[in-house]
Amino acid sequence: MGFGLIIIGDEILSGKRVDKHFPKVLELLGARGLALEWVEILGDDRARITATLKRTFASDDIVFSCGGIGATPDDHTRQCAAAALDVPVVLHPEAKQKIQERMQDMAREANVPFDLNRPENLHRLKMGEFPQGADIIPNPYNKIPGFAIRHGNGGAHYFMPGFPVMAWPMMEWILDTQYAHLFHQQAKVEKSVLVFQSMESALTPLMESIEDEYPQVKVFSLPSVGDAETRRHIELGVKGEPGQAAAAFARLIAGLDLLQVEVQYI
Q: Does 221 have pLDDT greater than 90? A: yes
Q: What is the reported pLDDT for 228?
A: 84
In whole angstroms, what is the distance from residue 240 CA to residue 187 CA?
A: 8
Q: Does 30 have pLDDT greater than 90? A: yes
Mean pLDDT of the chain: 95
Q: What band does 188 get if pLDDT is binned at 50, 70 and 90? A: confident
**How much is the average pLDDT of 8-29?**
97
Q: What band does 141 get if pLDDT is binned at 50, 70 and 90? A: very high
**How much is the average pLDDT of 104-115?**
90
Q: What band does 230 get if pLDDT is binned at 50, 70 and 90? A: confident
Share of the chain above pLDDT 70, in %: 100
> Strand 155-160 relative to strand 262-265: parallel, antiparallel, unpaired?
unpaired
Q: Where are the alpha helices (DSSP H) in the chain?
A: 10-14, 21-30, 46-57, 77-85, 93-110, 119-124, 164-178, 200-213, 242-259
**How much is the average pLDDT of 176-190?**
92
Q: What is the reported pLDDT for 117?
A: 87
Q: What is the reported pLDDT for 190?
A: 94
Cβ atoms 141, 60 nearer than 8 A: no
The structural domains of the chain, ordered by start, are 3-182 (3.40.980.10), 189-265 (3.30.70.1130)
**How much is the average pLDDT of 172-200?**
94
**How much is the average pLDDT of 193-213?**
95
